[in-house]
């Protein structure tokens, strides 16, 4: 079957965004790029725009807009800047699918705008579902919009569920690589440097998710993401460390049967699956070789050493604005860790403290979440300043 989808890629200069463009380059008969956007990497965005000829681009860095317009105008490409322009442009008529590959809380409003305009979503930006899973999934249901997961674990579950939509899920098993510090004690973790944390054993990703993977916060965010994508209770979500990163996740059905999705760790596969669903497109990427993987191993995550995971699971259980506060505090903590202003374990202290300090809202509206996000960021920064003084 032949498809041609018109897509928008939000965050096209990042790890997921550039791999999505690799997919477009390899599948020119199936995808056409309508919109490309970035935060500050304007030089790369310009190159991408001249290659893929989208209808429009949006940059985060407003000061460079005149230069971008000068370069793209002769090619017939419109250029805009800023968060409001992004929210407008995702609504462009020709766009059918919006790939949300920008990082962090900044993904929430453009995703909601795209859903409101009836665009299907290929969701990489997990923070959107962590912050506002209930609002986002309700809005998508109301508009008849599909959310296709890009995260490899969620794509795995989605692939296992194909043809099984009517069958009850007993539980899902999210696999985790364990990151670069698997098996480390808290004493060892206290000494972790930024350079060590930025080296992931199996995946090459943006800085924020690489730190989240090292602290296991990423798996906590993914549990919350899975809860909303697949409508699960917390007892139905199990996390298991599988250091080889070949089994991307598992679904266990009501008869006890388990289905797993496997493959080499390469994000292009889940990106392409989300973009081409329900079709599988032929690729020439490297295939799995049994002789290189004589054994798969599994172990329990260490929730005592990796407190971020425990904090995320608690926030999921508490619900309301707790995951939003967790996410905001974590974004601040990761940023401070990357600036070498706090240590690896202090990230958990900062998040725990912020979760206690921001008032709980059981049924938050969008405005409540925006206020909680701002309040959590303010408190997280304030407490760090207090510790450091």
Residues of this chain that interact with Mg ion (CB under 5 A) are: 151-153
Letters for 206-245 (x = contact with ligand NAD by CB under 6 A, - = none) are: x-xx------------------------------------
CA-nearest of 95, 173, 170, 100 to 132 is: 100
CA-nearest of 246, 33, 218 to 126 is: 218
Q: Which residue has the tokens 């979500």?
A: 237
Q: How far apart (Å, rounded) are the C-alpha atoms in residues 134 and 311?
A: 20
Q: How far apart (Å, rounded) are the C-alpha atoms in residues 17 and 20?
A: 5
Letters for 137-166 (x = contact with ligand NAD by CB under 6 A, - = none) are: --------------x---------------
**CB closest to ligand NAD, residue no:** 14
- Residue 343 interacts with ligand NAD (CB under 6 A)? no
Q: Which residue has the tokens 């699956």?
A: 273
Looking at the DSSP assignment, which residues form a beta bridge with residue 120?
97
E strand or H helix at 131: helix 126-143
Local structure of residue 362 (DSSP, 8 states): S
Span interacting with ligand NAD, options 36-44, 132-140, 285-293, 374-382, rule CB under 6 A? 36-44
- Residue 101 interacts with ligand NAD (CB under 6 A)? yes
Angstrom distances, CA of residue 329 to CA of 10, 268, 352, 368, 376:
23, 30, 9, 16, 6
- One residue of 6, 11, 155, 325 binding ligand NAD per CB under 6 A: 11
Q: 325 CB contacts (<8 Å, ≥6 apart)?
A: 315, 354, 355, 358, 372, 373, 375, 376
Span interacting with ligand NAD, options 121-129, 135-143, 192-200, 246-254, rule CB under 6 A? 121-129
- Residue 180 interacts with ligand NAD (CB under 6 A)? no
Q: How far is the CB of 150 from ligand NAD (least distance, A)?
A: 6
Angle at the Cα of 258 from the Cα atoms of 254 and 261, rounded to 5 degrees: 135
Three-state SS at 6: strand
Nearer to ligand NAD, 14 or 243 (CB): 14
How many chain residues are in contact with ligand NAD, going by CB under 6 A? 27
Span interacting with ligand NAD, options 47-55, 98-106, 289-297, 371-379, rule CB under 6 A? 98-106
- One residue of 124, 192, 237, 333 binding ligand NAD per CB under 6 A: 124
- One residue of 111, 125, 175, 330 binding ligand NAD per CB under 6 A: 125
Span interacting with ligand NAD, options 33-41, 247-255, 291-299, 377-385, rule CB under 6 A? 33-41
Write out the residues near ligand NAD by the rule CB under 6 A. 11-17, 38-41, 60, 101-103, 106, 124-127, 151, 203, 205-206, 208-209, 267
């Amino acid at each position: 079957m032949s498809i041609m989808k018109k897509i928008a890629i939000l965050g096209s200069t990042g790890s997921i965004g550039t791999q999505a463009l690799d997919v477009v380059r390899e599948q020119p008969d199936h995808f056409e790029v309508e919109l490309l956007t970035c935060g500050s990497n304007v030089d790369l965005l310009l190159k991408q725009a001249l290659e893929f000829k989208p209808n429009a681009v949006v940059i985060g860095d407003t000061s460079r807009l005149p230069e971008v317009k000068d370069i793209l105008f002769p090619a017939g490409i419109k250029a805009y800047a800023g968060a409001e322009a992004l929210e407008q442009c995702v609504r462009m008529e020709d766009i059918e699918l919006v790939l949300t590959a920008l990082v962090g809380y900044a993904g929430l409003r453009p995703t909601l705008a795209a859903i409101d305009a009836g665009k299907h979503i290929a969701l990489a930006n997990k923070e959107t579902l962590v912050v506002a899973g209930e609002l986002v999934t309700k809005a998508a249901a109301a508009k008849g919009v599909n959310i296709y997961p890009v995260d490899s674990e969620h794509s795995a579950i989605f692939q296992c569920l194909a043809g099984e939509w009517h069958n009850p899920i007993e539980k899902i098993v999210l696999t985790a690589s364990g990151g670069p510090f698997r098996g480390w004690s808290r004493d060892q973790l206290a000494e972790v440097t930024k350079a060590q944390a930025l080296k992931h054993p199996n995946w090459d990703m943006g800085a924020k998710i690489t730190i989240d993977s090292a602290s296991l916060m990423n798996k906590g965010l993914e549990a919350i993401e899975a809860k909303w994508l697949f409508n699960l209770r917390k007892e139905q979500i199990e996390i298991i460390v599988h250091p080889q990163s070949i089994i991307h996740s598992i679904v266990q059905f009501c008869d006890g049967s388990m289905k797993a999705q496997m493959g080499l760790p390469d994000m292009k596969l889940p990106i392409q699956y989300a973009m081409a669903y329900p079709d599988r497109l032929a690729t020439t990427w490297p295939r799995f070789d049994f002789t290189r993987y004589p054994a798969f191993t599994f172990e329990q995550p260490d929730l005592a050493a990796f407190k971020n995971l425990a904090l995320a699971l608690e926030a999921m259980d508490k619900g309301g604005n707790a995951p939003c506060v967790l996410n905001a505090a974590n974004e601040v903590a990761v940023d401070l860790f990357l600036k070498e202003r706090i240590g690896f374990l202090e990230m958990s202290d900062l998040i725990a403290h912020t979760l206690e300090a921001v008032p709980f809202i059981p049924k938050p509206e969008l405005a409540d979440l925006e206020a909680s996000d701002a309040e959590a960021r303010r408190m997280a920064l304030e407490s760090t300043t207090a510790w450091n003084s």
